[in-house]
């Protein structure tokens, strides 16, 4: 059974890697999937598939994006940014697959597992499409976008779907979506990287929206992310935003929260160990993976540390809330909102280091052969590390 599970995970990872590759490298994607199927040992096939995913990430977020990042004017100390972006996709994919293993062992409906896979594939497809569109469309202003996203959160609190006194969801084509899990982490990251009146207002509106819903988990995540920012880079704007976030979190504590636990969604950090020790380890390991990209940024240059601290603190708070209360367990539990929200964080992470930007000034996009070398290097990276 374990051998079949590892084989299925390897084939899904290879399929995801092939999905996010740009058109010029689609032949490589097909070759990846065939190679995974031909490798006799499932463990080796899984390692190879992870290498393929790393290579696909390098293909998308490599030199082609570095040139574009040179015009953003956002300082970053060390070359940890682009590595964290690739690592984020790998962590998201592995966490989702570990969660699928737990759901399968627990007898979850096939539709639950399918919805998580669809959310992962949709998120990767959106990232790939956005990366391609950047080559010929002007980049939108994150400050204005963060304000728009916060207004969507407020609209959810005022006119969303109410269940047991909480208004946290919207319904699209029969699916319940929690916008705060998708939008709030990105709003926070954009505030860290580009503090402005608009991004500050976005944070304040988000705090109000979460207090109105009420949503203790996400209000706590907002406060935790801003606390991490205040510790890494203290200024009056950050302290003002932190004060508003803490006030919103306290407001959620003053209101009752009687949401019942949903199977394969809430409290699975504990129930998975009751199911089987391996299922518990898979769920706990997938949850730990969520903060790894943030820790990588914190270990990098000083310019990346505030972003990494906020990323790690935000997702740690979301996981902690899921352990302490009846809140969705991100990525390893059923629910596409957290998967999309985690992948959306890619738009808030730094794309390049300061050194990389200077070296890319006036340099054209990488030639196809160079991109293929990046892809080949990524495909063996995981196996080399292991």
Render pLDDT for 56-92 as a digit per residue (tens, 0 to 9).
766 655 433 333 333 343 444 444 556 788 899 999 9
% of the chain at pLDDT higher than 70: 78
Question: For residue 193, is it within any domain?
Answer: yes
Q: Per the domain annotation, does 121 fall within a domain?
A: no
* pLDDT of amino acid 74: 42
Asked whether residue 191 carries a pLDDT value surpassing 70, the answer given is: yes
Q: Does a structural domain hold residue 87?
A: no
pTM listed for this prediction: 0.77
User: Do 340 and 177 contact (CB within 8 A), yes or no?
Assistant: no
- Say if 8 falls within a structural domain: no
Q: How far apart are CA 36 and CA 42, in angstroms?
A: 9
Quote the pLDDT of residue 353.
42
The verdict on residue 97 lying in a domain is no
Q: Which domain holds residue 152?
A: 138-351
In the chain, the number of structural domains is 1
For residue 226, what are the contacts with CB-CB under 8 A and spacing of at least 6?
A: 188, 203, 238, 241, 242, 245, 310
In a domain, 117, yes or no: no
Nearest to 226 by CA among 238, 215, 208: 238
Listed in sequence order, the residues at least 6 apart from 324 whose beta carbon sits closer than 8 Å to its beta carbon are: none
Strands of the sheet containing 166-172, edge to edge, are 161-163, 166-172, 175-177
Judge whether 44 lies within some domain.
no
In contact, 343 and 121? CB cutoff 8 Å: no
Asked if the model's pLDDT at residue 380 lies above 70, the reply is no
Look at residue 367 and tell me if it is in a domain: no
């Amino acid at each position: 059974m374990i051998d079949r599970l590892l084989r299925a995970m390897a084939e899904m990872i290879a399929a995801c890697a092939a999905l996010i590759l740009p058109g010029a490298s689609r032949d490589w994607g097909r070759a990846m999937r065939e190679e995974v199927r031909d490798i006799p040992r499932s463990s080796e096939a899984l390692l190879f598939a992870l290498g393929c995913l790393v290579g696909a990430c390098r293909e998308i977020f490599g030199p082609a994006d570095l040139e574009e990042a040179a015009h953003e004017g956002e300082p970053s100390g060390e070359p940890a940014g682009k590595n964290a972006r690739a690592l984020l996709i790998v962590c998201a994919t592995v966490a989702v697959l570990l969660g699928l293993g737990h759901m399968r062992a627990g007898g979850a409906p096939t539709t639950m597992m399918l919805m998580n896979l669809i959310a992962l594939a949709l998120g990767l497809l959106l990232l790939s499409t956005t990366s391609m569109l950047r080559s010929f469309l002007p980049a939108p202003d994150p400050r204005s976008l963060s304000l728009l996203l916060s207004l969507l959160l407020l609209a959810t609190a005022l006119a969303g779907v109410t269940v047991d006194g909480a208004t946290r969801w919207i319904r699209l084509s029969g699916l319940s979506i929690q916008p705060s899990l998708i939008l709030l982490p990105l709003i926070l990251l954009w505030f860290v990287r580009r503090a402005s009146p608009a991004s500050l207002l976005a944070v304040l509106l988000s705090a109000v929206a979460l207090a109105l819903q009420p949503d203790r988990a996400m209000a706590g995540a907002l406060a935790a992310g801003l606390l991490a920012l205040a510790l890494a880079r203290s200024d009056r704007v950050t302290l003002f935003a932190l004060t508003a976030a803490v006030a919103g979190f306290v407001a959620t504590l003053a209101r009752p929260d009687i949401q019942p636990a949903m199977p394969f969604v809430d409290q699975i950090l504990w129930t998975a160990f009751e199911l089987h020790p391996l299922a518990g380890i898979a769920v706990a390991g997938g949850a730990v993976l969520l903060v790894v990209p943030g820790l990588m940024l914190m270990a990098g240059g000083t310019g990346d540390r505030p972003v990494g601290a906020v990323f790690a603190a935000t997702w740690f708070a979301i996981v902690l809330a899921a352990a302490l209360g009846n809140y969705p367990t991100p990525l390893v539990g059923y629910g596409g909102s957290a998967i999309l929200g985690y992948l959306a964080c890619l738009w808030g992470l730094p794309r390049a280091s300061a050194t990389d930007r200077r070296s890319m000034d006036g340099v054209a996009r990488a030639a196809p052969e160079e991109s293929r070398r990046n892809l080949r290097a990524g495909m063996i990276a995981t196996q080399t590390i292991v």
